[in-house]
């Protein structure tokens, strides 16, 4: 899995991925995290459009996706890891606005002791801060 992501990241960095390609890449994580967290497409399929169901399994699904993207360290979203992934995977025009949204939202998770709750709140903030830049499977 990690080698696969590295190859995709290299391709993305060298040639630039489109939003659709990034989302397709993230679908791998979606397919792994949905059964692990007992969620359905109906529950998680509209997160990218700003629908964030207040459900523990959905919250842990969101955390699982970010964990599989390797942007969680010590049960918290990691600014440096996110920045690295954004630089490698995101289309050029979304990189800086996305990093600004991360800077605005990274501390939201600090209000929570639970990883799922904190990561979910930060993801919701990312959407609310800049919906056009939010990509989620």
Q: What is the CATH number of the domain that holds 16?
A: 1.10.238.20
Q: Which residue has the tokens 């800077």?
A: 103
Residue 59 lies in a domain: yes
Q: What pLDDT is stored for residue 12 in this prediction?
A: 46
Computed over its alpha carbons, how large is the radius of gyration of the chain? 14
Q: Which residue has the tokens 């979910």?
A: 120
Q: What pLDDT is stored for residue 62 in this prediction?
A: 98
Q: What pLDDT is stored for residue 17 in this prediction?
A: 86
Determine whether 49 is exposed, middle or buried from the number of CB atoms within 10 Å of its CB (0-12, 13-18, 19+). exposed
Total number of domains constituting the chain: 1
Say if residues 69 and 29 touch (Cβ distance below 8 Å): yes
Residue 45 lies in a domain: no
Q: In whole numbers, what is the pLDDT of the chain averaged over residues? A: 90
Q: What pLDDT is stored for residue 19 in this prediction?
A: 86
pTM for the structure as a whole: 0.86
Q: What pLDDT is stored for residue 16 in this prediction?
A: 66
Residue 29 lies in a domain: yes
Residue 44 lies in a domain: no
Q: Which residues of the chain have pLDDT under 50?
A: 1-13
Beta bridge partners of 77: 72
Q: What pLDDT is stored for residue 11 in this prediction?
A: 47
């Amino acid at each position: 899995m990690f080698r696969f992501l590295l190859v995709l990241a290299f391709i993305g960095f060298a040639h630039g991925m489109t939003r659709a390609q990034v989302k397709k890449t993230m679908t791998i994580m979606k397919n792994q995290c949905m059964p692990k967290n007992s969620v359905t497409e109906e529950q998680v399929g509209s997160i990218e459009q700003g629908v964030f169901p207040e459900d523990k399994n959905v919250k842990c699904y969101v955390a699982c996706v970010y964990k599989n993207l390797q942007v969680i360290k010590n049960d918290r979203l990691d600014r440096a890891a996110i920045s690295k992934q954004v630089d490698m995977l995101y289309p050029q025009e979304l990189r800086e606005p996305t990093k600004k949204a991360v800077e605005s939202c990274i501390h939201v998770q600090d209000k929570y002791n639970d990883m799922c709750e904190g990561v979910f709140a930060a993801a919701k903030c990312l959407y609310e801060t800049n919906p056009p830049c939010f990509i989620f499977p």
